[in-house]
Amino acid sequence: MLKKLTRWSRIKSPWILHLNSGACNACDIEVVAALTPRFDVERFGVLLKATPRHADVIIATGPVTRQLKDRIIRIYEQTPDPKFVVAVGACAMSGCVYRGAYNVMGGLDQVIPVDVYVPGCPARPDAILDGVVKLLGKL
């Protein structure tokens, strides 16, 4: 019964952590647009949290830089199970324009598992919403 209730509450109100692993900032602006009233992801019960310990979903932007690799893994480990990862933008998917740079490892799935990919450079807020809704469908 408790498991059912926990599952229901996660689907109805997933809490998210926004993680920039090396983005140029454009994807981050689009994530902010998705969170604010124009696109209003809160209508799906999604809330932004400041700490991984309170989050169910990590929304990550940007390629993985060598400088941030260990921190990304630590943040992933600090997020309680079951946890989900949404890679937002071409950089988080593959490294995009930064691929091959000396300090870039590639996409997010080089260091942590990714559940949903949202394409775009930058990813549009409605595509981010679509990614979140697809993730809720998976849950």
List residues bridging with 116 in a β-sheet. 86
Is residue 97 a contact residue for ligand SF4 (CB under 6 A)? yes
Is residue 96 a contact residue for ligand SF4 (CB under 6 A)? yes
Q: Which of 61, 118, 129, 132 binds ligand SF4 (CB under 6 A)?
A: 61
Overall size of the chain counted in residues: 139
Size of the site for ligand SF4 (CB under 6 A): 13
Is residue 32 a contact residue for ligand SF4 (CB under 6 A)? no
**Which residue type, as a one-letter code, is found at position 19?**
L
Is residue 23 a contact residue for ligand SF4 (CB under 6 A)? yes
CA nearest to 82, candidates 58, 101, 61:
58
Nearest distance from C-beta of residue 66 to ligand SF4, angstroms: 17
**In the bound complex, which residue of the shown chain has the CB atom lying closest to ligand SF4?**
91
If the CB atoms of residues 56 and 64 are measured against ligand SF4, the closer one turns out to be 64
Nearest distance from C-beta of residue 93 to ligand SF4, angstroms: 8
C-alpha to C-alpha distance for 56 and 111, rounded to whole angstroms? 18
Nearest distance from C-beta of residue 78 to ligand SF4, angstroms: 23
If the CB atoms of residues 11 and 110 are measured against ligand SF4, the closer one turns out to be 110
Contact footprint for ligand SF4 (CB under 6 A): 23-24, 26-27, 61-62, 89-91, 96-97, 121-122
